Amino acid sequence: MQAAGFSPKVQIPGTPEVQNPGESVEQLVSRLAREKARAIAETESVVVAGDTVVVLQGEILGKPNSPAHAEEMLNRLSGSTHRIVGGWCVCRGEEILYGVEACQVQFRDLSRTEISEYVQSGEPLDKAGGYGIQGGAGGFVSRFSGYWSNAIGLPLVPVTFSIEQLARR
């Protein structure tokens, strides 16, 4: 958001990030983004919230619960293509705009040493799929399509457009 010229105040809502039975990935991230925004919504301020997941062969890869789990995720992502699906929400009071964006990421084949060194950096432990494309894992990417900003947590094009729409009202 700062790169787009905004000076955000960051608040972290205590929204449980749990998939409901029968809920698609797109429905999940959209719902969580809206719930997070509503949890901190104010009538005067514009609130922006989002949720991002990594999907490999139909399975959601959440945040790893240990370094070993991060290594397991990265081994699975090595040499494969996966999706990053991000839900976003912009609201002010009762006014709400939201959507879902997806991008495709292909990782090159990764060596066990690369994976181990990356996990030892600590970077992947709080990130969906066990990696941060904007950090050390950027070098793992061999092909990418979609909004780059979606891969790092929030698709800036639709979000900034929505902020401008609400600000004009």
Give the predicted TM-score (pTM) of the model: 0.89
* Residues 90/33, Cβ–Cβ less than 8 Å: no
Q: Where are the domains of the chain?
A: 25-168
Cα separation, 51 vs 18, whole angstroms:
11
What percent of the chain has a predicted confidence (pLDDT) above 70? 98
Catalytic residue among 31, 49, 50, 51: 51
Q: Which fold has domain 25-168?
A: Maf protein (3.90.950)
How large is the average pLDDT for residues 12-37?
A: 94
The reply to whether 51 belongs to the active site is yes
Higher pLDDT, 120 or 93: 120
